[in-house]
Chain A
Amino acid sequence: MEVLLASFQAITWKSLVMFIIGGLLIYLAIKKDYEPMLLLPIGFGAILANIPFSSAIGENGFLTILYNAGIYTELFPVLIFIAIGAMIDFGPLLQQPFMLFFGAAAQFGIFVTTLLARAFGFSLKEAVSIGIIGAADGPTSIYVANLFAGELIGPITVAAYSYMSLVPLIQPPVIKALTTPEERSITMDLNLQKVSKTTRILFPIIVTLVAGLIAPMSVALVGSLMFGNLIRECGVLDKLSKAAQNELSNLVTLLLGITIGSTMVAEKFLTGKTMLILGMGLFAFIFDTAGGVLFAKLLNLFLPRKVNPMIGAAGISAFPMSARVIQKIAQKENPSNFVLMQAVGANVAGQVGSILAAGVLIYLVSALG
Chain B
Amino acid sequence: MTDTIATTLRILLQSLAVTFFGMIVIYSAIKLLVKFFPDDKEDK
A98's nearest neighbour on chain B, judged by CB, is B27
CB-defined contacts of A325 to chain B, threshold 8 Å: none
Tell yes or no: A273 within 8 A of B by CB: no
Tell yes or no: A114 within 8 A of B by CB: yes
A214-B22, A360-B18 in contact; A203/B27 too (CB < 8 A)? no
CB-defined contacts of B15 to chain A, threshold 8 Å: 111, 357, 360-361, 364
Interface residues of B in 8-35 (CB under 8 A from A): 8-9, 11-12, 14-16, 18-23, 25-27, 29-31, 33-34
Number of residues from A at the complex interface, CB < 8 A: 45
A114 touches B8 (CB 8 A): yes
A199 touches B23 (CB 8 A): no
Q: Label chain B's interface by main secondary structure.
A: helix
Interface residues of A in 85-126 (CB under 8 A from B): 93-94, 97-98, 100-101, 103-104, 107, 111, 114-115, 118-119, 123-124
A353 touches B43 (CB 8 A): no
CB-defined contacts of B20 to chain A, threshold 8 Å: 101, 104
Interface residues on B, range: 20 to 34
Give CA–CA (A107, B13) in the complex, Å.
12
B16 touches A210 (CB 8 A): no
A199 touches B33 (CB 8 A): yes
Give CA–CA (A207, B11) in the complex, Å.
23
B43 touches A203 (CB 8 A): no
Distance in angstroms from B7 CB to nearest chain A CB is 7
Give CA–CA (A111, B3) in the complex, Å.
16
Which of A98, A115, A215 contacts B8 (CB under 8 A)? A115
CB-defined contacts of B9 to chain A, threshold 8 Å: 115
B34 touches A193 (CB 8 A): yes
B7 touches A368 (CB 8 A): yes
B16 touches A94 (CB 8 A): no
Give CA–CA (A361, B11) in the complex, Å.
7
Give CA–CA (A123, B29) in the complex, Å.
37
B3 touches A197 (CB 8 A): no
**Contact mask for chain A residues 175-215; partner B; CB cutoff 8 A; 1 contact, 0 none:** 00000000000000000011111110011001100110011
Which of B7, B19, B25, B33 contacts A353 (CB under 8 A)? B19
CB-defined contacts of A193 to chain B, threshold 8 Å: 34
CB-defined contacts of A196 to chain B, threshold 8 Å: 34, 37-40, 43
CB-defined contacts of A235 to chain B, threshold 8 Å: 42
**Contact mask for chain A residues 358-369; partner B; CB cutoff 8 A; 1 contact, 0 none:** 001100110011
**What is the interface of chain B, defined by CB distance below 8 A to chain A?**
1-3, 5, 7-9, 11-12, 14-16, 18-23, 25-27, 29-31, 33-34, 37-40, 42-43
Of the A-B pairs whose beta carbons lie under 8 Å apart in the complex, a sample of 21, sorted by A's number, is: A94-B34, A97-B26, A97-B31, A100-B27, A101-B23, A115-B5, A115-B8, A124-B7, A124-B11, A195-B34, A196-B38, A197-B42, A197-B43, A203-B29, A206-B26, A210-B22, A215-B22, A349-B23, A357-B19, A365-B11, A368-B11
> 4 closest pairs, A vs B, by CB?
A97-B30, A198-B37, A196-B40, A199-B33
Knowing that A124-B3, A196-B39, A357-B19 touch, tell me 16 more A-B residue pairs with CB under 8 angstroms. A93-B30, A94-B30, A94-B33, A97-B31, A114-B12, A115-B9, A115-B12, A123-B3, A196-B34, A197-B42, A197-B43, A198-B40, A203-B29, A203-B33, A207-B29, A353-B19
